[in-house]
């Protein structure tokens, strides 16, 4: 067997393949077998990237510069000949040099280096070997080489870092579910989708499923949902700015005319009499009259819609009258198909399977009227499914749970930048807040997992009782009352209260993924769920939507998923260790013999103490925790407030 972590493969700019390897030493027969297997793996990788620029680096455990009788050298030379590769170190290195030295200094060899295609040798130059200094604790020396290559669209970043793909036109679909009655939705969406789902289920449930086929099944189901829902009222709204409905072209023209006259009147120092003021007053009157007429027209139009909806569409009627979404979440289902309850899977199933009851419960928690994700699937697409479609989703979800695999479509996001306002420069990207729209299929899966994870985490004491965010029956008011109660008790006991209010820099967007899942692994969450969560966070990508165009794919390498149902729960796991560490060290105030030295509301942390020395120690613990888990406290936005023992006023 080839040893794990023996290869690292990088793909740069979609046209560079870089492989770093550590090949077996070849000192015995087992090593020689592994050596040949390793070369076979590299050969298979190369066969799928025939058009890419290629470089292979690492420890080959075969000296091509100073040849010897080692059998692994023969295997390497045969591999180079078959693959059309050449040893750069052999061509550019010089005999007598070495990259490896034994501990006793008796043996040296040139076993580290680079390989590339024979036709690409001219692109490499300046092979250098690092000095052998006492500070180098490794047996190997550093080998450098200069690679000069011009690539189309090259960004000097890995493929999964940042790409310079051109902006693409995006057509966003909006199904107007509220304008259709339940019977209309059932007849034009649910029932036709059931027929398609039945056909897909019959095609796939008897096959030996793999990742590709299940992802293809999800893609076909998504396409069927969209195409079927197009029979309902729909539109393709623009993401540009929208004015109020009464602001018509006529209103716009009259406004611009009044604005021009006002500018001339202002330039003339706003005279109280004369032609300018008369013209301005007339234009203003005309503009206001035009605006009133437009509003009256829209009101009459709205009343007509209400009258029509009263007889034909009760859901729309109540929406227009009450100006809010309907709270009815009953999904219509009129399927009579006979669907097998337990699909056939090629992968071994966990006992932790997802059932139709889980999907029914989760769909009741989906919020209607929310924007769809990059796949144009809205929550209503999943709320109004029938029995056949539900079993098809069950097949997909249970396969993902059993194999710890998720489709890339469930990981993609669409970022909508919103300006923060308050006079901030709209040309500065930092003055925009990105809101990410994620897949509804992903939200549904997370809604199914959430109660299971919450039950397990409660057994681990997560969230802590001092975490007031993301919990039922907790609020900002309860948080502030708790803080006020601590201050009042200290005041009655004639003790000051020192509070450090800490602000983490983009707390949710900076969560370290490896650290997060290390903490998740320390809980009692079933490994099947943990593996599925890891899959959801691997290779996440988002695109920015701006003026109906999208950017290239941007990899999301840190942070909890925006819009993710499980994101608050995962962030709670990530910061829970700080609360428990401060409690274990008995740092901070006590409230009725209970630790109350730290109060957390989501990502806002307040350290509370009656001693400035103790507060400094708490700050040291917090800073060390932040450094360990790779997030940063913003010193500019963090404050220390002192409440003395004589008054309620604070001094900063």
Q: How far apart are CA 345 and CA 399, in angstroms?
A: 7
Tokens 């009464």 belong to 246
Q: Yes or no: say if 26 and 61 are a contact pair by the CB < 8 Å rule.
A: yes
Which residue, 90, 115, 147, sits at the end of a domain? 147
107 CA to centre of own chain: 50
pLDDT digits (tens, 9 = 90+) for 203-240: 876 667 889 989 999 999 999 999 999 999 888 765 55
The CA-to-CA distance between both ends of the chain, in Å, stands at 65
Q: Is residue 553 part of a domain?
A: yes
Quick one: pLDDT at residue 508? 86
Query: What is the span of the domain harbouring residue 99?
Result: 7-147
Quick one: pLDDT at residue 12? 54
List of residues 6+ apart from 330 with CB closer than 8 A: 182
Banded model confidence at residue 163, pLDDT cuts 50, 70, 90: very low
Q: Quote the pTM value.
A: 0.61
- Give me the mean pLDDT over the 423-438 stretch: 82
Which residue, 89, 122, 147, sits at the end of a domain? 147
Q: How far apart are CA 170 and CA 542, in angstroms?
A: 14
Q: How far apart are CA 368 and CA 373, in angstroms?
A: 13
Q: Does residue 140 sit in the same domain as residue 29?
A: yes
Please give the full DSSP string across 16-34, using - where no structure is assigned.
EEEEEEE----SSHHHHHH
103 CA to centre of own chain: 47
Which stretch of DSSP H or E encloses residue 127?
strand 124-129
Q: Yes or no: say if 445 and 574 are a contact pair by the CB < 8 Å rule.
A: no
Q: Does residue 411 sit in the same domain as residue 508?
A: yes
Q: Is residue 477 part of a domain?
A: yes
Strands 541-546 and 497-503: unpaired
List of residues 6+ apart from 525 with CB closer than 8 A: 453, 456, 457
Q: Yes or no: say if 262 and 277 are a contact pair by the CB < 8 Å rule.
A: no
pLDDT digits (tens, 9 = 90+) for 112-145: 888 888 888 888 888 888 776 655 657 788 888 8
What is the token pair recorded at 384?
């109004």
Quick one: pLDDT at residue 191? 94
Q: Is residue 180 part of a domain?
A: no
Quick one: pLDDT at residue 6? 57
Neighbours of 416 (CB within 10 A): 15
Q: Does residue 442 sit in the same domain as residue 587?
A: yes
Q: Does residue 497 sit in the same domain as residue 620?
A: yes
Q: How far apart are CA 308 and CA 314, in angstroms?
A: 10
Q: Does residue 283 sit in the same domain as residue 428?
A: no
Q: Is residue 466 part of a domain?
A: yes
Q: Does residue 498 sit in the same domain as residue 621?
A: yes
Which residue, 296, 319, 342, sits at the end of a domain? 319
pLDDT digits (tens, 9 = 90+) for 232-255: 988 876 555 445 677 788 888 888
- Give me the mean pLDDT over the 58-68 stretch: 82
Complete edge-to-edge strand list for the sheet that includes strand 598-601? 598-601, 604-609, 497-503, 639-643, 650-651
Q: Is residue 342 part of a domain?
A: no
Omega of the bond leading into 463 within 30 degrees of 0 (cis) = yes
Q: Is residue 102 part of a domain?
A: yes
What is the token pair recorded at 641?
């407030």
Alpha helices in 404-522 (DSSP H): 440-459, 476-492, 513-521
What is the token pair recorded at 261?
């006259």
Q: How far apart are CA 544 and CA 162, in angstroms?
A: 13
Q: Is residue 652 part of a domain?
A: no
The domain tally of the chain equals: 3
Q: Is residue 166 part of a domain?
A: no
- Give the CATH number for residue 96: 3.60.10.10
**Rounded to whole angstroms, what are the CA distances from 601 to 328, 477, 516, 568, 572?**
32, 11, 19, 11, 10
394 half-sphere exposure, CB direction, 13 A CA radius: 24
**pLDDT of residue 2 exceeding 50:** no
Tokens 């966003």 belong to 172
Q: How far apart are CA 624 and CA 245, in angstroms?
A: 55
Q: How far apart are CA 169 and CA 447, in angstroms?
A: 32
Banded model confidence at residue 161, pLDDT cuts 50, 70, 90: very low
Q: How far apart are CA 380 and CA 329, in angstroms?
A: 9
**DSSP helix/strand/coil, 377:** coil
């Amino acid at each position: 067997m080839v040893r794990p972590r023996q290869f690292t493969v990088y793909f740069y700019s979609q046209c560079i393949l870089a492989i770093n390897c550590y090949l077996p030493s070849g000192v015995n027969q087992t090593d020689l077998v592994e050596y040949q297997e390793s070369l076979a793996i590299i050969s298979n990788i190369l066969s799928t990237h025939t058009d890419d620029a290629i470089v292979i680096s690492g420890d080959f455990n075969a000296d091509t510069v100073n040849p010897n009788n080692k059998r692994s050298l023969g295997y390497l030379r045969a591999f180079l000949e078959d693959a059309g590769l050449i040893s750069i170190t052999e061509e550019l290195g010089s005999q007598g040099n070495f990259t490896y030295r034994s501990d006793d200094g008796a043996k040296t060899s040139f076993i580290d280096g680079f390989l590339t295609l024979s036709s690409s040798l001219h692109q490499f130059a300046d092979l250098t070997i690092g000095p052998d200094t006492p500070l180098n604790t490794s047996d190997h020396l550093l080998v450098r080489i200069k690679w000069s290559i011009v690539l189309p669209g090259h960004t000097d970043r890995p493929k999964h870092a940042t790409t310079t793909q051109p902006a693409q036109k995006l057509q966003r679909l909006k199904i107007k579910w509220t304008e259709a009655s339940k019977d209309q939705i059932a007849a034009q969406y649910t029932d036709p989708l059931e027929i398609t789902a039945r056909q897909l289920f019959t095609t796939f449930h008897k096959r030996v499923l793999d990742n590709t086929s299940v992802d293809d099944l999800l893609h076909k189901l998504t396409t069927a949902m969209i195409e079927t829902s197009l029979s309902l009222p729909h539109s393709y709204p623009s993401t540009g700015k929208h004015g109020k409905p009464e602001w018509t072209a006529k209103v716009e023209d009259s406004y611009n005319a009044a604005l021009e006259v006002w500018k001339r009147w202002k330039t003339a120092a706003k005279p109280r009499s004369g032609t300018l003021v008369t013209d301005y007053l007339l234009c203003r009157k005309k503009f206001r009259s035009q605006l009133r007429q437009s509003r009256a027209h829209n009101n009459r139009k709205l009343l007509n819609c209400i009258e029509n909806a009263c007889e034909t569409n009760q859901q729309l009627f109540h929406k227009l009258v009450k100006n809010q979404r309907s709270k009815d979440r009953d999904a219509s289902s009129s399927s009579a198909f006979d669907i097998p309850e337990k699909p056939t899977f090629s992968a071994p199933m966990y006992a932790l399977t997802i059932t139709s009851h889980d999907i029914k419960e989760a769909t009741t928690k989906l919020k209607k009227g929310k924007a769809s994700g990059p796949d144009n699937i809205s929550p209503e697409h999943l709320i109004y499914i029938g029995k056949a479609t539900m079993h098809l989703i069950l097949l997909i979800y249970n396969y993902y749970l059993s194999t710890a695999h998720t489709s890339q479509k469930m990981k993609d996001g669409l970022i909508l930048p919103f300006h923060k306002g308050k006079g901030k420069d709209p040309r500065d990207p930092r003055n925009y807040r990105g809101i990410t729209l994620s897949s509804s299929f992903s939200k549904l899966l997370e809604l199914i997992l959430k109660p299971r994870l919450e039950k397990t985490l409660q057994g681990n004491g997560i969230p802590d009782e001092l975490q007031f965010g993301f919990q039922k029956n907790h609020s900002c008011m309860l948080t502030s009352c708790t803080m006020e109660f601590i201050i009042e008790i200290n005041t009655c006991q004639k003790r000051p209260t020192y509070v450090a209010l800490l602000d983490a820099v983009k707390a949710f967007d900076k969560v370290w993924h490896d650290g997060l899942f290390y903490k998740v692994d320390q809980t009692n969450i079933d490994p099947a769920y943990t593996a599925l969560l890891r899959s959801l966070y691997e290779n996440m990508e988002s695109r920015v939507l701006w003026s109906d165009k999208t950017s290239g794919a941007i990899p999301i390498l840190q942070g909890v998923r925006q819009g993710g149902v499980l994101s608050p729960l995962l962030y709670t796991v990530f910061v829970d260790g700080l609360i428990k560490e401060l409690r274990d060290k008995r740092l901070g105030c006590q409230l009725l013999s209970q630790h109350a030295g730290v109060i957390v509301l989501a990502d806002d942390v307040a350290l509370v103490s009656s001693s400035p020395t103790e507060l400094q120690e708490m700050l040291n613990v917090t800073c060390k925790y932040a450094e360990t888990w790779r997030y940063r406290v913003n010193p500019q936005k963090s404050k220390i407030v002192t409440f003395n023992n004589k008054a309620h006023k604070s001094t900063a």
